[in-house]
């Protein structure tokens, strides 16, 4: 039986067998272990509140089967060009005033291009950073020099999810390879930006795929600082529209396993929260989730998400409080 020692056990050499043994533990034992690790590495009373804003929506040339923003699927999502910088900064200020410590800007691009739109993203990053918020972007694939530009503008984190396992990847996306994801994550690291990377469950994958994805993250030379765990949001018009709803215990299992093998990371309970009641979300927090997305627009990118007031009321009911990040504008020279 493997020993899980919490803080001394930050490892990068997990085997598939070890991960499966954790994932398949009796549920209450698994949650107990994860909650213990959580308490060694984090204050269990705090939850990081992040706000996600879609700054460019829809019309994406990629074919991610779960995504309503892919141009090739017939969904209700309206295409929207890159928002004006002032609009984005107004949203960021509102997010800060509502208790968010991280502001994430998402653009439905396959990759970043060195054009005017990227110059505008750079302006947005500078502006949000000056507000004292942790700035995060998710813009698709990035080269090393683009990552460097973002870092110099004050970008704190870059989100680039693995989505699923390397083995299952081709079933979900055909327009890029798993290796492309890894390459972008490496470019982000080289630039000194923190990494936010996780995945989605409920895509039709097997438990072995979930484990394989977590293993890729846990065996990275440096663990991603944030690990979003998403439940498939079944968007009408996408190929995965009719898959069954993810069972809450599968989310709890996945979060608990992530917490144990990535103990220092923020584990983010992300898409799919709208379909969970407060009790179910409480289980996820008990299993080690310590971050959520919320938003004034009550959407997570283009799928429904609980609003700020509802989230604050839930945190209060559970005796949790928003994590306060004490920082001035991110100073590049301190890297
Ligand atoms: S997940 Fe991202 S890359 Fe994939 S289709 Fe949607 S917007 Fe495009």
The answer as to whether 326 is a domain residue is: no
140, 178, 240: residue to mutate for ligand 1 pocket, most atoms within 8 A of CB = 140
Range of weakest confidence among 9-23, 239-253, 300-314: 300-314
| 138 Cβ inside 6 Å of ligand 1 | no
| Residue 325 placed within a domain | no
Residue 332 domain-assigned (yes or no): no
Which residues contact residue 55 at a Cβ distance below 8 angstroms, ignoring those fewer than 6 apart? Answer: 82, 83, 88, 105, 106, 107, 121, 124
Catalytic-role residue among 181, 268, 273, 284: 268
Q: Is the Cβ atom of 69 under 6 angstroms away from ligand 1?
A: yes
Residue 116 has pLDDT above 60, yes or no: yes
Q: What is the CATH number of the domain that holds 201?
A: 3.20.20.70
Q: What is the pLDDT of residues 185-210, one digit of tens each?
A: 999 999 999 999 999 999 999 999 99
Q: What is the pLDDT of residue 304?
A: 60
Q: What is the atom index within ligand 1 of the atom nearest the CA of 70?
A: 5
Give the pLDDT band of residue 325 (cuts 50, 70, 90).
low
**How high is the pLDDT of residue 300?**
53
Kindly state if the Cβ of 108 falls inside 6 Å of ligand 1: yes
Is 4 inside a domain boundary?
A: no
Pair 52, 301: CB distance under 8 Å:
yes
Domain that holds residue 35: 13-318
Catalytic (active site) residue 284: no
Is residue 49 domain-resident?
Answer: yes
Looking at the domain assignment, is residue 246 inside a domain? Answer: yes
Instruction: Please count the structural domains in the chain.
Output: 1
Would 6 be classed as within a structural domain? no
Residue 206, in any domain of the structure: yes
Mean pLDDT across the stretch 267-274? 87
Q: For residue range 232-269, what is the model confidence (pLDDT) as tens digits?
A: 999 999 999 999 999 999 999 999 999 999 999 999 99
Report whether residue 64 contacts ligand 1, using a CB cutoff of 6 Å: yes
Catalytic site residue 137?
A: no
The pLDDT of residue 309: 82
User: Contact, 22 vs 278, CB < 8 A?
Assistant: no
């Amino acid at each position: 039986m493997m020993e899980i020692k919490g803080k001394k056990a930050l490892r990068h050499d997990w085997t598939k067998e070890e991960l499966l043994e954790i994932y398949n533990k009796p549920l209450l034992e698994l949650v107990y272990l994860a909650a213990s690790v959580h308490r060694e590495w984090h204050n269990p009373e705090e939850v990081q509140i992040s706000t996600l804003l879609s700054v460019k929506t829809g019309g994406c040339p990629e074919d991610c089967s779960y995504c309503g923003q892919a141009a090739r699927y017939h969904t209700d999502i309206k295409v929207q060009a890159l928002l004006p910088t002032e609009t984005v900064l107004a949203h960021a200020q509102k997010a800060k005033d509502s208790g968010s410590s991280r502001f994430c800007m998402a653009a439905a691009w396959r990759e970043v291009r060195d054009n005017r739109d990227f110059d505008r993203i750079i302006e947005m990053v500078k502006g949000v950073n000056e507000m004292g918020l942790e700035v995060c972007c998710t813009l698709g694939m990035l080269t090393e020099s683009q990552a460097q530009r973002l870092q110099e503008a004050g970008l704190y984190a870059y989100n680039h999810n693995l989505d699923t396992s390397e083995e299952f990847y081709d079933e979900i996306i055909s327009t890029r390879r798993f290796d492309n994801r890894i390459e972008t994550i490496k470019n982000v690291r080289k630039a000194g930006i923190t990494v936010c990377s996780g995945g989605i469950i409920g895509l039709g994958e097997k438990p072995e795929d979930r484990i394989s994805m977590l293993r890729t993250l846990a065996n990275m030379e440096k663990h991603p600082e944030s690990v979003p765990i998403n439940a498939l949001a079944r968007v009408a018009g996408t190929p995965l529209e009719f898959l069954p709803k993810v069972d809450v215990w599968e989310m709890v299992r996945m979060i608990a396993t992530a917490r144990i093998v990535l103990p220092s990371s923020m584990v983010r309970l992300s898409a799919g929260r709208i379909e969970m009641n407060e009790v179910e979300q409480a289980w996820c927090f008990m299993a080690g989730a310590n971050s959520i997305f919320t938003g004034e627009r009550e959407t997570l990118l283009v799928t429904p998400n609980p609003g700020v007031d509802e989230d604050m009321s839930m945190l209060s009911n559970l005796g949790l409080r928003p994590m306060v990040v004490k920082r001035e504008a991110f100073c590049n020279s301190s890297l």
